[in-house]
């Protein structure tokens, strides 16, 4: 395996991790922003109010986007194994 191949594969892996984590991060960000606006308008400064809705939003987005994430990971893994088979064989 060449250095260019390894660097390209690492770049693809980093891009895939960013791509599959983006929906959960976006949901957490939006819910965090809404909770912050709610806290600022009502002057409630409870710390658990900031964390619990974000955790629930991330878990719900994981359930919603789980099949898509699994498909992306399976495609990437089959791509890696296919390249490994071509290299060895």
Q: Which residues of 60-78 are buried (b: 16+ CB within 10 A; e: fewer)?
A: ebeeebeeebeeeeeebee
Q: Are 23 and 65 in contact (CB under 8 A)?
A: yes
Write down the domain spans for the chain: 3-88
What pLDDT does residue 77 have? 94
CB 10 within 8 A of CB 80: no
Position 59 pLDDT exceeds 80: yes
- What stretch of H or E contains 53? helix 47-88
Residue 14's φ and ψ, nearest 5 degrees, are -65, -45
Span 9-44, pLDDT tens digits: 899 999 999 999 999 999 999 999 999 999 889 888
Residue 48 structure tokens: 């658990």
φ, ψ (nearest 5 deg) of residue 16: -65, -40
């Amino acid at each position: 395996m060449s250095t260019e191949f390894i660097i390209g594969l690492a770049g693809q892996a980093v891009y895939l991790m960013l791509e599959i984590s983006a929906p959960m991060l976006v949901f957490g960000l939006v819910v965090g922003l809404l909770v912050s606006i709610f806290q600022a308008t009502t002057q409630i400064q409870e710390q658990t109010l900031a964390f619990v809705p974000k955790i629930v939003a991330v878990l719900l987005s994981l359930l919603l986007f789980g099949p898509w994430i699994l498909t992306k990971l399976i495609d990437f893994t089959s791509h890696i194994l296919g390249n490994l088979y071509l290299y060895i064989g």
